Structure 1
Amino acid sequence: MGGDALAKSKTRRRRSGKSASGAADLRVIPLGGLGQIGKNCTVFEYGDDLVMVDCGLMFPEEDMLGIDYVIPDVSYVEERRENLRAIVVTHGHEDHIGALPFVLPRLDVPVYATKLTLGMIRNKLKEAAPAYEPRFHEIRAGDVVELGAFSFEFIAVCHSIPDGVGYALHTPLGTVVHTGDFKLDPTPIDGRVTDYGTFAELGRRGVLLLMSDSTNVERSGFTASERLVGRTLEELFRLHRNRRIVLATFASNLHRAQQVFDVAARFNRKVVLMGRSMINNVALARELGYVSVDESLLIAPQDVDKIPHNRLVVLTTGSQGEPFSGLVLMSKGEHHHIKLSEKDVVVVSATPIPGNEKLVSHTVNRLFACGCDVVYERERQIHVSGHAAQEELKMMLSIVRPRYFVPVHGEYRHLVRHNQLAQDTGVPARNTFLLLNGDVLQISADKAQIKGNVPFGSILVDGRVMGELEGSVMQERRDLSEEGILTVSVVLSTDGVLLRPVVTESRGFLHVDMAEELHREVRETVMKLVETAARKGSIDEEDLAQKIRGRVKDLVRRHTRSYPVIMPLISLVEV
């Protein structure tokens, strides 16, 4: 059923697996997103009914060598897949939808989300899981959908991406309100404000639990309106009339893209989109009616040289210093279409996500080295956040007036600060809960308590291969990166005769002045081990490899005090 039918009928759909009313406790189980930025995923469980809200990814930390994404471990849900009624998605940011291409085909349940969010998920599935046919259900703010024992009421919220929603989750024990990612922007670009009225009405009726966005709890006051960026853009366009303008922002920040299009049109400039995610997101938003831009304003990347510098705007990815993004390739002089110089002004219209500070700093330094003017300082007002600051969080707490409170979506210090804020606004300390991933908040008719935990963790995605966070591949990569590697190649007949000289190669741990002597000693040691093994009449390949590994490791330590990976390569040849 699509959003239009839902909006007209507001039919309350009851699915199989409904628990006996009042016979069970409500269990709230975060599988990601608490104590970290990203990987948002929460499970609600009542009796035999489960619903999962969001399923996002997190970008890898510096020590996760070669890893593309980190996604939540949803094995707890997989084991109860027959009870999972649906996945509900609040909005289309990567930290809320990025894991779905890996998780959804395994769970194979319906997905409920707004039109733009479903479009973004569909694009991801086409790329990563083209054979899978999802069951999408479009919803709109104001719709009510019943899933087993749960009734979801969707609430419009303003964020840095269109079509975001919070929700009221009505259960037999009471109402859970989740704000989603939000801010209280009174003048949003698309006119879709956060629905104060619904949140207040829910508070008037009584709210059992509030789960609220903690990202900007350390910022005082109110988060500025997105329209402030539009005024700053006009000033920059006016100031740099004779230069090409390159603007980097999040590919999902379609409100920002809309403002760039509007200002470019007023200043008679063409716009070129750079970066696959930027091109795809703008195309999707135009198709669905979330972005309005005249076709004549846009030019293809291969046509940039046909447009004078002072008549062109480049809208690109790379605001977070992502290694292969448009802006980073430009800063390295490796971009196919844009070569930066003193004729360019580059605007980085974003603040670094925690963990990306070094990447962004390196990118900015390279941009300056290209001769560009670079605008990136927060005080220049070229970026505003999509998350509520302290006063907005206080307002939400004041109008919802929950019995219990759980801060979500933030690093641990954010959760602690938000917990304190809730207590300052009148929520009793005994009714506020600092959850971490895997914790189980169990709510009954007369109390709430953290009661145990469930299996949780992180799954690393390397290309299309997934593995555990502490799995063998990651440990091998760490060992190689820290200590280097020494390979020993031995070619033997099956009765132990050396058919080729022993060959040794090392990378990453030997200085040149000691390499020759050590390699000679290693070869001599290995030859003696082969001779000893040959006396037994036949070669046990695994036993010989183990002995080589042990003896060579001892030898290397005496020379270098290093602990490289020792890799014997034994080839047995029948002669």
Structure 2
Amino acid sequence: MRNSNASRSGSRRSRSGGQHGQTKKGRPAGELRWVPLGGMGEIGKNLSFFEYGEEILVVDCGLKFPEEEMLGIDFVIPDAQYLVENRHRIQGIFLTHGHEDHIGGLPFILPKLDVPVYGTRLTLGLVENKLNEACPRYRPKLVEIRAGETTQAGSFSVQGISVCHSIPDSLGFAIRTPVGLVVHTGDFKLDATPIDGRITDYSAFAELGKEGVLLLLSDSTNVEREGFTASERTVGQTFEQLFRLYKDRRIVISTFASNLHRAQQVFQTAARYNRKVALVGRSMISYVELARKLGYVDAPDDLFISQQDIESTPPNRLVVLTTGSQGEPFSGLVLMSKGEHRQIRLGSKDLVVISATPIPGNEKLVSRTVNLLFACGAEVVYDRSQAIHVSGHASKEELKIILSLVRPKCFAAVHGEYRHQVRHVQLARELGVPAKQVFVLTNGDVLKLVDGKGQISGRVPSGSVLVDGVALGESEGSLLRERRELAEDGLIALSLVVDEQFRIASPISIESKGFLHCQDAKDLYREMEGAVRKALEPLAGHPETDPDSVPTLIRKKLRDVLSRYSRTYPTLIPLVTRLGQPTPTKGRKRSAA
């Protein structure tokens, strides 16, 4: 793992003019600003920063998975343009843990910032793997931190707090600033019997509460769930029952690749029942290999077999641990459900366990996968009531405990949809936080903290950036709109050749995709050819005509014809090649709906 050249005493020194008066850009030196750029009103895409004087401290840099209407988009990352423009002021990026919604945006954002990244050993290992794959030439500055240690970054002093989550080595942060103490819980739950024995540090939160906390930022994901979140060990007990009950079947278990506690329990149960384990899915293999290498997962080498040995292994001696619990189109479980996996053909001798609940927006994908698995003849266990999955997030009573321990002057709900944030601030009011000092923010809102009080004041640019392979595009731009138009209305491409006098010199070629396929198509094509000829008749013998105007004239005539066949227009792309010209004239403008 690469270590930063920056010492623990801080990455870049403050350029602030001090704690009194004004900074160079007019920001009051006694004012702390907290700004979320992602993670408000949504699950995922977590990114926020603190700003004091001329210094910035960033917490997390994640992604979220696309919604169903985001056609062809791989995932969504925060718009970090504000940070890019102010990168010289950034003291570092501090990561709470290694889930994609907290580190997944780094390969796209970090090279533009080129600042130190602080995280625990496992978190940085996952970050390094991602960066090596996505941008191998970039050399990040990675600095390892541990729970209980304090790291100085400019005017910010950051103390790691051990918290229990569904991935090892998770942290909350106590951030001491010249204005006051801020506590960021990260993603957490209060599991008294965690798999790795690393519980959430109650005493640290209690000590911080005694010290006096200006602002608490707390995980809101499970605020609507009453009581306490069940321990991860309950899933291990369910695995034990399933292995005993289905001892004559091959067992296929699908879960999040990053849920290493879950994977550890699968390995332990498989070993007790004398079964081998095959890992399926690139991310599953990558996570488990790294966790074993760093000592976060304990499993002997002879427990595992390669995918090539699956077919030769007796079904009752095999467990397959695979990706696909969210119905991802090219994941291991989905390929199995479609009968497209190279090594695994599911049938009546298989038990499939989906050890996860659908992320909001993935319900249809998961449901479709479950139906396909039943169609294969397999027995499928997927109901939450069977205790095959527990959340990694705190439920209502656990959130109350943290609020009671920390006793903040100000409170803001983070990491959740809008209703979760509202419910969480209501809970904070019930626990004694002043009503005027609890805040529901949206991405880009600025929470100013001055003289022990908070106020939402102003905004910074924020939004979403869509990632399609290696291409980036603005969420508000034309990319999705064009894809929706193609999906809804189809496309007609028309190609013709004209001479220098704009007379048609060859047969007109028309291709239609996704628009009209019926007996009327031939008549339509004839009418379209006639419309093109009428559009060009006035131009014949006028070589001075602007070639760029020709596609627009053609498109107008075609819309007159198409209006008799459909209530909507397809995308029209006229390509006009003029003899004697170096390149064809393309009609790039969109047709009106």
Q: Is the partner of 1:55 in helix, strand or coil?
A: coil
Query: In 2, Cα distance between the equivalents of 1:559 and 1:5?
Result: 67
Asked if structure 2 preserves the Cα contact closer than 8 Å seen for 1:494 and 1:538, the reply is: no
Query: In 2, Cα distance between the equivalents of 1:443 and 1:550?
Result: 57
Out of 540, 560, 577, the residue aligned to residue 554 of structure 1 is 560
The corresponding residue for 1:259 is 265
Residue 24 (structure 1) shift:
2.8
Residue 558 (structure 1) shift:
2.9
The corresponding residue for 1:118 is 124
The corresponding residue for 2:136 is 130
Q: Is the partner of 2:411 in helix, strand or coil?
A: strand
- Relative distance call for 1:203 and 1:550 in structure 2 (3 A) is same
- Relative distance call for 1:529 and 1:115 in structure 2 (3 A) is same
Residue 174 (structure 1) shift:
0.6
Query: In 1, Cα distance between the equivalents of 2:235 and 2:491?
Result: 51
The 10-residue stretch of structure 1 (129-138 or 546-555) with the greater mean CA deviation from structure 2: 546-555
Query: In 2, Cα distance between the equivalents of 1:337 and 1:540?
Result: 60
Q: How does 1:203-352 map to 2 (within 5 A)?
A: 203-352=209-358
- Relative distance call for 1:271 and 1:496 in structure 2 (3 A) is same
Query: In 2, Cα distance between the equivalents of 1:302 and 1:294?
Result: 19
Residue 5 (structure 1) shift:
13
Q: Deviations over 1:362-413 (max 9, x none)?
A: 0000000000110000110010000000000000000000000000000001
Q: Is the partner of 2:57 in helix, strand or coil?
A: strand
Q: Is the partner of 2:512 in helix, strand or coil?
A: strand
4+ runs deviating over 3 angstroms: 1-6, 10-15
Residue 31 (structure 1) shift:
0.1
1:418 equivalent in alignment to 2:424: yes
Q: Is the partner of 2:236 in helix, strand or coil?
A: helix
Out of 483, 488, 510, the residue aligned to residue 477 of structure 1 is 483
- Relative distance call for 1:14 and 1:553 in structure 2 (3 A) is closer
The corresponding residue for 2:539 is 533
Q: Is the partner of 1:67 in helix, strand or coil?
A: coil
Query: In 2, Cα distance between the equivalents of 1:12 and 1:21?
Result: 20
Out of 486, 491, 496, the residue aligned to residue 497 of structure 2 is 491
Q: Is the partner of 1:322 in helix, strand or coil?
A: coil
The corresponding residue for 2:182 is 176
The corresponding residue for 1:16 is 13
The corresponding residue for 1:458 is 464
Residue 3 (structure 1) shift:
9.5
Asked if structure 1 preserves the Cα contact closer than 8 Å seen for 2:164 and 2:170, the reply is: yes
Asked if structure 1 preserves the Cα contact closer than 8 Å seen for 2:5 and 2:141, the reply is: no
Query: In 2, Cα distance between the equivalents of 1:273 and 1:240?
Result: 20
Residue 314 (structure 1) shift:
0.2
Residue 130 (structure 1) shift:
0.6
Q: What one-letter code is carried by the residue in structure 1 that aligns with 2:495?
A: S
Out of 353, 359, 370, the residue aligned to residue 353 of structure 1 is 359
Residue 505 (structure 1) shift:
1.7
Query: In 1, Cα distance between the equivalents of 2:87 and 2:282?
Result: 34
Backbone CA RMSD of aligned residues: 1.7
Residue 2 (structure 1) shift:
9.1
Query: In 1, Cα distance between the equivalents of 2:184 and 2:2?
Result: 23
Query: In 1, Cα distance between the equivalents of 2:5 and 2:316?
Result: 49
- Relative distance call for 1:13 and 1:110 in structure 2 (3 A) is closer
Asked if structure 1 preserves the Cα contact closer than 8 Å seen for 2:228 and 2:398, the reply is: yes
- Relative distance call for 1:3 and 1:404 in structure 2 (3 A) is farther
The corresponding residue for 2:375 is 369
Asked if structure 2 preserves the Cα contact closer than 8 Å seen for 1:250 and 1:317, the reply is: yes
Asked if structure 1 preserves the Cα contact closer than 8 Å seen for 2:491 and 2:515, the reply is: yes
Residue 317 (structure 1) shift:
0.2
Residue 573 (structure 1) shift:
2.2
Out of 62, 65, 72, the residue aligned to residue 71 of structure 2 is 65
Q: Deviations over 1:202-229 (max 9, x none)?
A: 0011000000000000100000000111
- Structure 1 unpaired stretches of 5+: none
1:508 equivalent in alignment to 2:495: no
Asked if structure 1 preserves the Cα contact closer than 8 Å seen for 2:497 and 2:579, the reply is: yes
- Relative distance call for 1:445 and 1:438 in structure 2 (3 A) is same
Q: What one-letter code is carried by the residue in structure 1 that aligns with 2:71?
A: L
Q: What one-letter code is carried by the residue in structure 1 that aligns with 2:274?
A: N
Q: Deviations over 1:68-106 (max 9, x none)?
A: 110000001111111011111110000000010000001
Q: What one-letter code is carried by the residue in structure 2 that aligns with 1:213?
A: D
Q: What one-letter code is carried by the residue in structure 2 that aligns with 1:117?
A: T
Identity %: 59
The corresponding residue for 1:444 is 450
Query: In 2, Cα distance between the equivalents of 1:475 and 1:15?
Result: 42
- Relative distance call for 1:5 and 1:488 in structure 2 (3 A) is closer
Q: What one-letter code is carried by the residue in structure 1 that aligns with 2:19?
A: S
Query: In 2, Cα distance between the equivalents of 1:308 and 1:275?
Result: 21
Residue 14 (structure 1) shift:
7.5
Asked if structure 2 preserves the Cα contact closer than 8 Å seen for 1:460 and 1:466, the reply is: yes
Query: In 2, Cα distance between the equivalents of 1:30 and 1:299?
Result: 44
Q: Is the partner of 2:214 in helix, strand or coil?
A: strand
Out of 390, 400, 409, the residue aligned to residue 406 of structure 2 is 400
Query: In 2, Cα distance between the equivalents of 1:129 and 1:166?
Result: 28
Q: What one-letter code is carried by the residue in structure 2 that aligns with 1:133?
A: R
Asked if structure 2 preserves the Cα contact closer than 8 Å seen for 1:3 and 1:137, the reply is: yes
- Structure 2 unpaired stretches of 5+: 21-28, 582-593
Q: Is the partner of 1:34 in helix, strand or coil?
A: coil
Q: What one-letter code is carried by the residue in structure 1 that aligns with 2:518?
A: V
Query: In 1, Cα distance between the equivalents of 2:266 and 2:5?
Result: 35
Out of 33, 54, 76, the residue aligned to residue 60 of structure 2 is 54
Q: How does 1:70-81 map to 2 (within 5 A)?
A: 70-81=76-87
Asked if structure 1 preserves the Cα contact closer than 8 Å seen for 2:161 and 2:173, the reply is: yes
Asked if structure 1 preserves the Cα contact closer than 8 Å seen for 2:412 and 2:438, the reply is: yes
Q: Is the partner of 2:284 in helix, strand or coil?
A: helix
Q: Is the partner of 1:230 in helix, strand or coil?
A: helix
Q: Is the partner of 2:353 in helix, strand or coil?
A: strand
Q: What one-letter code is carried by the residue in structure 2 that aligns with 1:323?
A: P
Residue 155 (structure 1) shift:
0.4
The 10-residue stretch of structure 1 (121-130 or 552-561) with the greater mean CA deviation from structure 2: 552-561
Q: Deviations over 1:310-340 (max 9, x none)?
A: 0000000000000000000000000011100
Residue 147 (structure 1) shift:
1.0
Q: Is the partner of 1:569 in helix, strand or coil?
A: strand
- Relative distance call for 1:381 and 1:4 in structure 2 (3 A) is farther
Asked if structure 1 preserves the Cα contact closer than 8 Å seen for 2:11 and 2:92, the reply is: no
Query: In 2, Cα distance between the equivalents of 1:61 and 1:509?
Result: 25
Residue 160 (structure 1) shift:
0.2
Q: Is the partner of 2:439 in helix, strand or coil?
A: coil
Query: In 2, Cα distance between the equivalents of 1:68 and 1:78?
Result: 23
Query: In 1, Cα distance between the equivalents of 2:350 and 2:500?
Result: 68
Query: In 2, Cα distance between the equivalents of 1:401 and 1:470?
Result: 40
Q: Deviations over 1:228-261 (max 9, x none)?
A: 1111100000000100000000000000000000
The corresponding residue for 1:391 is 397
Asked if structure 2 preserves the Cα contact closer than 8 Å seen for 1:343 and 1:372, the reply is: yes
- Relative distance call for 1:140 and 1:239 in structure 2 (3 A) is same
Query: In 2, Cα distance between the equivalents of 1:79 and 1:291?
Result: 40
Q: Is the partner of 1:153 in helix, strand or coil?
A: strand
- Relative distance call for 1:490 and 1:263 in structure 2 (3 A) is same
The 10-residue stretch of structure 1 (398-407 or 524-533) with the greater mean CA deviation from structure 2: 524-533
The corresponding residue for 2:42 is 36
Q: What one-letter code is carried by the residue in structure 1 that aligns with 2:409?
A: R
Q: How does 1:57-206 map to 2 (within 5 A)?
A: 57-206=63-212
The 10-residue stretch of structure 1 (60-69 or 244-253) with the greater mean CA deviation from structure 2: 60-69
